[in-house]
A and B are shown apart, each in its own frame.
Chain A
Amino acid sequence: MAPPAIDFRKKRFLVVDDQPLARESLRAIAQTAGAFSVDLATGYQDAIFRIRNNVPDIILCDYMLGDGRSGQQLLEELRRFDLLPDDTIFMMVTGEQSYEQVVAAVELVPDDYIIKPFSPDKLILRLERVAAKKEFFAPFFRAKRRGDYPQALALLAANRDSEGGHTYRFELLRQEAELHIATGNAPQAEATYRGILDRYEFPWARAGVARALQRQNRLSEARSEIEKAIAGAAHYFDAADLKANICMAQGEHDEAQRVLEAIARRTPRNYLRKRLLAQAAELNGDAEAARAAMADVIANDTMPGAVSTEDQLALARTQVAAGDAIAAEKVLLLLRESEIMALPLPSQASFAALLAIASPEKGRSRFAGLRPALLAVELPPSVRLDVLQAALAGGDGELAEKQAQALLAGDDSRLVFNRMRQLFSLYDGDPLFREIQRRVALQRIGRGETDAGAAGVGEATAAP
């Protein structure tokens, strides 16, 4: 065999495995392959700690890490916190047939995976392949990291007809599609994913089509595409997250919650999913489930910096929804003034609104101070719901109307409709709500919009 193209003596390896024997085996194989420096991690937390402190060049990670954790989760978490430099190699090691199913389905894949048992020679061969691929894509990744998307796209286009462009034709298309999504060019992303599907029905590409359609607000098409992706891949949990997001945008919060609960039971330590579940449950009117999910996130998402001020606001929101003003007040008052002032205006508005609901005495003046801004600026739907509730609770009809109108007239009206109706009902505002609906519907008809948009708008105009 030709001498290795990589000088493994200079590379720092990290072996991640919870089983001592397996860890030793991996170390022995890596050393036989020429590795000099091989660090060992006994599991998920230990791996994160080591990678944070000293990024290895090559990670050999077993798929089964024990303690409810998997190598796939570790990979997702490392990418989420951007702890892996582009040239670090992440190689999943598996004796599991089921991991092959995962890697075939999901969008976020390791650089490669290798099935036990394997020889040092085979490991060398695989690592060299990965290194060559990384070198091929290096200029592209550099451009992408710089945020120079036109240059990144140009590099992909230039590579397509090169020798490597044949070797990596699917990867080039996948990167191109992801870049189109990142730059907001959903129609082009859709076309690129469909081009991949013409060659093979990869679940990740089908999900890509669904995501691109969702971005174009073509929700029922997106829904049918994501159902196809899920039907083709039982292990594709991220597809369920996307489905839940689409369901919520369609106003089907019960289905979103059901889907997320089913997957969350199988991935109990995926806290991004728990956050999404909290949102779905809250929109679905299941305040207790929302509260439990957010409490779990805040207690157990142990990555440093993982739990944000926004998460604390989300927890307080679920407590307010569950009618537990005391708990909400406690969470809100634990936030430091400096943290609050560092938040963007919409989050400050949520903070002020939630505090005004939980503790009118302590929150009223801050909320009043923001009132002129809240009447004037654009706000995300979740923030408008907070402001709406605070306005209803404080008897500020004008502010409440303003928020409700904006929500009903916006693209996300289905997302928030149920919750809005519940809030008006909670504060004896049903007649006002119907009146606002009627006005928004009339405005739409006045503008010649045939599709009244929100399911609820049609409902309301038909109401007596």
Chain B
Amino acid sequence: MHRLLDVLASGVHDAKNQLFYAEAQIAAAEAAHGLDLAEARYAIEAAAGRLSRTLAAYRLLRDEARLAVVPAVVADLCEEVALDQRKHLARAGLTLDVACTVRDEWALDRDLVADILNNAIQNASRHARSRIRLSAGEADGSLCLRVEDDGCGFADTDPAAHGIGLLVAARIAELHRRQERHGSLRLCNGGEFGGAVLELRLP
């Protein structure tokens, strides 16, 4: 079965290279002709993100997933996610606030965690009225990342009720381990804006 995973991974890899080629062409055209094709680039990156997530889900379901944990500066991570999302949200009339109070580098899988946050913000954008907030803080020795919106909240706060994306996110959170503790994903309602809250805790 190892073969199948290799075939899938190599297919995803090639597809992402093609997408990168497309994005580079678009970026060059934007620069050359003074265009703004940010939405086209956003769609390309979203497609690439979806491919990666599908592969990650496959690995997780087969229990073959391994994190790539590196020291990451939390404020930088938040800023990057904001960079990926802010323009797109603005087109939908939504603002994204970022609040990070964590000074320290944190050991986490930077790319998978960024993907979870990107995905959470995309989800939030479908329900938010006008605002979304991404915040990072420390609680009980854990890193606490939250995505909140001012929509009407989750009808069901069980991550399993929300399809594969959140299941994968919950599993990735859980794979983050330090000494005896492991990470978690929690959905609730309320928060700063009174809407849906997704909270990712990493030890």
Please, which residues of chain A bring their CB within 8 A of the CB of B103?
A: 163, 166-167
B97 interfacial contact with A, CB 8 Å: no
Pick from B22, B27, B80 the residue with the most CB of A within 10 Å: B27
Interface residues of A in 162-202 (CB under 8 A from B): 163, 166-171, 199-202
With A97-B55, A100-B68, A167-B104 already in contact, the answer to whether A200 and B83 are too (CB < 8 A) is: no
Could you tell me the distance in whole angstroms from the C-beta of A230 to the nearest C-beta in chain B?
14
Stretch at the interface among B11-19, B145-153, B165-173, B191-199: B11-19
Asked if B69 contacts A200 (CB within 8 A), the reply is yes
CB contacts under 8 Å to A, within B89-110, are 103-105, 107, 109
Partner of A199, one of B31, B41, B107: B107
B25 at the interface (CB under 8 A from A): yes
8 A Cβ contacts from B75-89 to A: 76, 79-80, 83-84
Mark contacts of B4-30 with chain A using CB atoms, 8 A cut-off: 1 yes-contact digit, 0 otherwise: 000001001100110111111101101
Q: Is A122 an interface residue (CB 8 A)?
A: yes
**A-B pairs with beta carbons under 8 A, tally:** 114
How many whole Å from A228's CB to the nearest CB in chain B? 15
A28 touches B25 (CB 8 A): yes
- Say if the beta carbon of B182 comes within 8 Å of chain A: no
Contact-residue size bin, chain B (C-beta under 8 Å from the other chain):
35 or more
Q: Are B24 and A29 in contact (CB under 8 A)?
A: yes
The answer to whether B24 and A168 touch across the interface, beta carbons within 8 angstroms, is no
A103 contacts partner chain B, Cβ-Cβ < 8 Å: yes
Query: A407–B117 Cα gap in the complex (Å)?
Result: 60
A301-343 contact mask (Cβ, 8 Å, vs B): 1 or 0: 0000000000000000000000000000000000000000000
Hey, which chain A residues are within 8 Å of B30, CB to CB?
A: 32
Contact of A104 among B12, B27, B68, B79 (CB under 8 A): B68
- Chain B residues whose C-beta falls within 8 Å of the C-beta of A151 in the assembled complex: none
- List the B residue with the shortest CB-CB distance to A164: B103
When chains A and B are docked, how far (Å) is the Cα of A420 from the Cα of B158? 68
Please tell me if A373 contacts chain B, counting CB pairs below 8 Å: no
Query: Count the A residues whose beta carbon is within 8 Å of the partner chain — how many?
Result: 40
Which one, A111-119, A283-291, A384-392, A432-440, is touching chain B?
A111-119
Q: B134 interface residue, CB < 8 Å from A?
A: no
Residue B60 is within 8 A (CB to CB) of chain A in the complex:
no
Whether A117 contacts B16 by the Cβ 8 Å rule is yes
> Are A200 and B178 closer than 8 Å at their CB atoms?
yes
Judge if B187 is at the interface, Cβ distance under 8 Å.
Answer: no
Q: Which residues of B contact A115 (CB under 8 A)?
A: 16, 52, 111
Min C-beta distance of A135 to chain B, whole Å? 15
B175 on the A face (CB < 8 A): no
- Report whether B178 and A97 are in contact in the complex, using a CB–CB cutoff of 8 Å: no
Query: Does B174 reach chain A (CB closer than 8 Å)?
Result: no
- Report the Cα distance A118→B44, complex, angstroms: 9
**Is A170's CB under 8 angstroms from B107's CB?**
yes
Taking the closest CB of chain A, its distance from the CB of B70, in whole angstroms, is 5
Q: Bound state CA distance, A297 and B109, in angstroms?
A: 37
How far, in Å, is A96 (CB) from chain B's closest CB?
A: 6
Q: Bound state CA distance, A167 and B100, in angstroms?
A: 13
Cα A129 to Cα B24 with chains together (Å)? 22
* Complex partner residue of A116 from B16, B104, B109, CB under 8 angstroms: B16
Q: Which residues of A are found within 8 Å of B109, using beta-carbon distances?
A: 100, 104
Kindly report which residue of chain A lies nearest to residue B59, judged by CB atoms.
A97
- Across the interface, A119 reaches (CB within 8 A) one of B23, B25, B178, namely B23
A-B contact pairs, 6 of them (CB 8 A): A21-B17, A24-B21, A28-B24, A96-B13, A98-B9, A116-B19
**CB-based closest 10 A-B pairs:** A100-B68, A25-B24, A200-B107, A117-B20, A170-B71, A104-B68, A166-B103, A116-B20, A28-B24, A28-B28
